[in-house]
Structure 1
Amino acid sequence: MTGRANAHGFGQRFDLPLPLWLWLTGAGATLVLTFVALALFARRRDFGAAFLRSVDLLQFAALRRIAHPLAVVLRVFSCAVFALTLATGFLGNDDAYANLIVTMVWVLWWVGMAFFCALVGDLWEVVDPLPTVYRAAARLIGRRESLGLPWPSWLGAWPAVILFFAFAWAELVWQDKDVPRALASALLAYAALSWCGMLLFGVEVWRSKADAFAMVFRVLGRFAPLELRSATPTEPARLRLRPYAAGLLTEGAVPNSVAAFVLLMLATVTFDGLHETPLMDSIGTAAQTARPVAEALFALSSATGMDETQWLNTVVLLLFPLAFMLIFRVVSACMLRLAGSSAHADLNAMVWSLVPIAVAYHLAHYASLLLTTGQFIVPLASDPFGWGWNLFGTRGQAVNLGIVSPAGYWYTAVTLIVVGHVLAVIVAHIEATRRFASHRAALLSQVPMLALMVAYTSLSLWIMAQPIVG
């Protein structure tokens, strides 16, 4: 097997056919023209009605007959993969790329499942092994599913925000993230925490308020064309076909904790790209040469065992979502001021218009990782523990790490990011027309949001360009 892949770098330099500033200008102009077109031709308040139309696929008898058996098969398979992943982490080879758990967790599950949930539907809602294992254990011991404790209203979804930040820290900062036994221990600890929460508050309450991964895949699933929902004691199963981004339009108020979660998703994937750029290297150099900062980092390192780079990355990672939340609040305040007294007090719903951006950036940023490092699953399928097995005859399968060219990477990234931002402008416009009293108020409210999206488009493209032009 080959050595470790650099997920976001390339072995050759790619010269853009146009200067980078022209790409940034063109992308920003596309967003402005989209806004102008909406202002001129989408004046009716029911402009977004087509987005809300959906088709109930379970009305078709053939789909209704296979839906439940298929869900059962997928859940059994998911639980088997979960058990195998834990077993390989605790018992398998210590080499990260000779052990199934590293590729399974960071590539196939985190990146692959996110891609599927965003582009197809929230499959994690159906195959999540944690509630399946918990419910099976409850039936086996013959006790009720939960103690039914009420969820404190003041707590909102903040536990999910905290847990997702911890996951982002593990992905981007934790040095043991590719150590199989450490990764398996973290996975088992999260499972145990989830099972305790399900016991106290119930499966659905825990998954909707505190389960970071159920929430992140549900947010991505709002963008997808298929609305997938498992049957619950209070709700039947749902399988609906709808236009992309239709699930982002909502009637109800959005809690602050949910808005913070969406912004955290956007902030962490942006940090992931930024911390591999020369700018982040410059920030690190400046921190090490500034005596008070260097002394603080040294003291933290001495007290905790984490090195100075880890602490610096942790601080910057924490500042990113705080900055995103502050900017969103400032933009929201400007929107209210420009819209005048006709505006609704709650503008957290506008946070859903940022989800297409999160989807686009996630696809653009991680596509190369999925296509390159994801190939390791082929030899690992034959030898998941790294013990020298060859169950399916694929152990010696070659891995082509050059499958993604710099040119392909760049053009794909540009397309995804611009399309994602255009969709974000459209969703924001539809949401504004539904929440403000007049067309003029809706348009004025969108000026600060448009400025934010143009700025973020430029930042995103600049970050994506660094591995190939930097």
Structure 2
Amino acid sequence: MSRCSALARRTGIAGVVAVLTLAVTAGGVAASNVAIGLSGQSDGTPIPIWLSLVTGGGVIATSMLLTMLVTDRTVVERFHTNAVGFSNDRLETVGSLVFGTIGIATLVFVVVVGLVGPQIGSFSATVLLTFVGGRALLTIIAYTVGNPWRALNPWRHIAAFVPNGYATYPPWLGSWPAVGTLLVLIWLEVVTPLTSSPRTLVAVILAYSVFTIGGAIVFTPQTWFQKGDPISVWFRLYGAVAPIQRTEAGLEVRYPGARLGDDDLITDGSVLAFVLVLIWELTYSGFIVTGPGVRTVETLVGIGFPPQLVYLGLLLGGFALFWKGYWLAAARTRNRTETHLSRGSLAIRFGSPLLAIAAGYHFAHYAGFSLSLWPSLVDTMVSPLNPPENPTQYLLTSWFSYVELTGILVGHLLAVWLTHVVSFELFSGKRQAVRSQYPFIIVMVVLAVVNLYLVAVPPMDPVYVPN
């Protein structure tokens, strides 16, 4: 833990300088629950909130007990290792060329339409393509099918044609720039009119383009987009949940989530921090549009704090509590198992299953959002400079909230199983492996109850948010 803290302190100044130049991009990283995102949410579950919480927590706890009965290492290892691989270098080359062209064309389209097209968020193909197409739909594809971003990434393709590699990426920097950037992006999306002002969005897209291409030129595209670029790290980690995985030999098909059992996915504390941010940003964006969240913001602003500072404090303070709680779970696991493994090693190794939870939370927040607004996206894409006066939107029925709850529960159930898989890989004794899971399962149950509550309650308009 001390080493991770030292790394954070050493990179803090550089991270702040970098992230203040950014906001959102055509791939979309910030939460879109604010502004246009609210139109895609349901009105809460039609069943009592307490029943949703008790049922959800009970299902996860029961699945934990049932999972722990599976102690046959052959069964556990089969889930982790079974894969069907295939390779076609020519197909991969053609696919990279086609998708790369689409990515660059989309970036140009977003910039041009944002500058000369309509300047109302819900009528702008720039805004809808960024948030509905990138932030929601492309991310859903990443964790349900496979990560398409490596092939689509326009900045990577541009940087590949420019001389690069003028400096060596410092190993101690890790992915901390991506962590800091993502936190600032979430905050900026809340306190600035990025979803309602296409030209503001274009300005930060251009700033981001300069920033990320510059990073790729200095450190090489391969290194920068693997570690420093937040959008690439975002899609790489979400894509690890998917059944289709890219390997050095080509592609392979595995069980959904099986990649999360590999020990090379989360390699240090900075990548672990990014995973925790993925979960926390969805919890945070859900909290600030509920009654308790709105009242908290109003109370703090009433005391005299600026709204921008209140939203930043809630974002960073909540993440700090989550970070601390997770590391306490790792310390507890080390004490319970009396292992020679360090607390840091345990925290990093048990971090991968949390990506299944992040995917479940993302689906719960953005499945309805996507269904509601994708007709508007199509309408504005067909006629980007002169869209219909009333772009089509779908209204979600009350029962769709059950789909959202299911997304959360499925993500947690997969995470419970993957925690079981990791524990049997780390510990030779069955009892030791089972005991190692308890603290992390407690963290998962707490997360599930909190997020089931946020999905179950009716949403409200966030206060002090620019339109």
Q: Contact (CA 8 Å) 2:41, 2:365: kept in 1 or not?
A: no
Classify the secondary structure of the residue corresponding to 2:69.
Answer: helix
Q: 2:45, 2:402 within 8 Å by CA — same for their partners in 1?
A: no
- Cα 1:256–1:469 change in 2 (3 A) is closer
* Cross-structure match for 1:32: 61
Letter in 2 for 1:242: R
Aligned partner of 1:316: which letter? L
Q: Which residue of 2 aligns with 1:367?
A: 367
Quote the Cα distance in structure 1 between the aligned partners of 2:38 and 2:342: 47
Q: Which amino acid aligns with 1:416?
A: G
Question: Which letter maps to 1:273?
Answer: G
How many angstroms apart in 1 are the aligned matches of 2:77 and 2:39?
39
Corresponding residue of 2:276: 263
- Local SS of the residue matching 2:73: coil
Alpha carbons 1:170, 1:177 under 8 Å: kept: no
Q: How does 1:71-470 map to 2 (within 5 A)?
A: 71-136=96-161, 138=162, 145-228=163-246, 236=248, 238-252=250-264, 254-290=267-303, 294=304, 297=305, 308-343=306-341, 345=343, 346-347=345-346, 348-385=348-385, 388=386, 395=388, 399-402=392-395, 404-408=396-400, 410-467=401-458
Q: In structure 1, give the amino acid aligned to 2:319.
A: P
TM-score normalised according to structure 2 size = 0.85
3-state SS in 2 of match to 1:352: coil
Cα distance in 1 for partners of 2:260, 2:37 equals: 35
User: What residue number does 1:7 align with?
Assistant: 39
Instruction: Please tell me the residue identity of whatever aligns with 1:34.
Output: S
Structure 2: how far apart are the matches of 1:454 and 1:407?
24
Q: Percent identity?
A: 23
Q: Hey, what's the Cα distance between the residues in 1 that align with 2:138 and 2:44? A: 31
Give the letter for the 2:159 counterpart.
Answer: Y
Per-residue CA deviations over 1:106-156 (Å, capped at 9, x if unaligned) read: 1111111110101010100111111112223x2xxxxxx313411112111
d(CA) in 2 for partners of 1:111 and 1:260?
A: 22
In structure 2, distance between residues paired with 1:91 and 1:351: 44
Partner of 2:39, secondary structure, is coil
Q: Give the Cα–Cα distance (whole angstroms) in 2 for the partners of residues 167 and 273 of structure 1.
A: 16
How far residue 64 of structure 1 moved from its aligned partner, in angstroms, is 5.1
Q: CA RMSD in A?
A: 2.3
Work out the CA distance in 1 between the residues paired with 2:166 and 2:445: 46
TM-superposed deviation, 1:162:
1.2
| More deviation, 127-136/217-226 | 127-136
Note the C-alpha offset of 1:13. 7.2
Q: For each residue in 1:396-453, what CA deviation from the matched residue of structure 2 results, as whole angstroms up to 9, or x when unmatched?
A: 7851331x21212x11012111111010000011101111231111111111111111
Do the aligned partners of residues 29 and 176 (structure 1) sit closer, same or farther apart at CA in structure 2, a change above 3 Å counting?
A: closer
**Counterpart residue type for residue 400 of structure 1:** Q
CA distance, structure 1, for counterparts of residue 272 and residue 159 of structure 2: 29
Q: Which residue of 1 aligns with 2:18?
A: none
2:28 maps to none
Q: What is the SS of the residue equivalent to 2:251?
A: strand
TM-score by length of 1: 0.85
Per-residue deviation at 1:20? 2.4
Structure 2 residues not aligned, in runs of 5+? 1-34, 462-467
How many Å apart are 1:218 and its aligned residue? Answer: 0.3
Check whether the contact 1:223–1:246 (CA below 8 A) recurs between aligned residues: yes
**How many pairs were matched up?**
424
Q: Secondary structure at the match of 2:252?
A: strand
User: 1:343–1:436: 8 Å Cα contact kept in structure 2?
Assistant: no
- Provide structure 1 residue ranges, at least 5 long, that are not aligned to the other structure: 139-144, 230-235, 298-307, 390-394
- 1:331–1:448 CA contact under 8 A, matched in 2: yes
Do the aligned residues in 1 keep the contact of 2:238 with 2:355 (CA within 8 Å)? yes
Deviation at 1:220, TM superposition (A): 0.5
1:24 CA drift (Å) = 1.7
- Give 1:341 shift: 2.9
Q: In the TM superposition, what is the alpha-carbon distance from 1:45 to its structure 2 partner?
A: 6.9
2-side partners of 1:411 and 1:183: how far apart? 34
Shift of the 282–103 alpha-carbon distance from structure 1 to 2, 3 Å rule, reads same
CA 153–450 in structure 1, closer or farther in 2 if over 3 Å, else same: same
Shift of 1:277: 0.6
Shift of 1:25: 1.7
Matches within 5 A, 1:51-70: 51-58=80-87, 65-70=90-95
Measured at CA, do residues 95 and 159 of structure 1 come closer, stay the same or move farther in structure 2, by a change above 3 Å? same
Distance (whole Å) between structure 2 residues aligned to residue 356 and residue 263 of structure 1: 12
1:171 deviates by: 2.7
* Preserved contact between residue 373 and residue 401 of structure 1 (Cα < 8 Å): yes
Comparing 148-157 with 359-368, greater Cα deviation is found at: 148-157
Distance (whole Å) between structure 1 residues aligned to residue 158 and residue 372 of structure 2 = 32
- Contact residue 121 and residue 127 of structure 2 kept, 8 A: yes
Partner amino acid, structure 2, of 1:132: H
* 1: CA distance, partners of 2:230 / 2:203: 18
Larger Rg: 1
Displacement of 1:23 after TM fit?
Answer: 2.3
Aligned AA (2:377): I
SS of structure 1 residue aligned to 2:289: coil
Q: 1:196: how far off?
A: 0.9
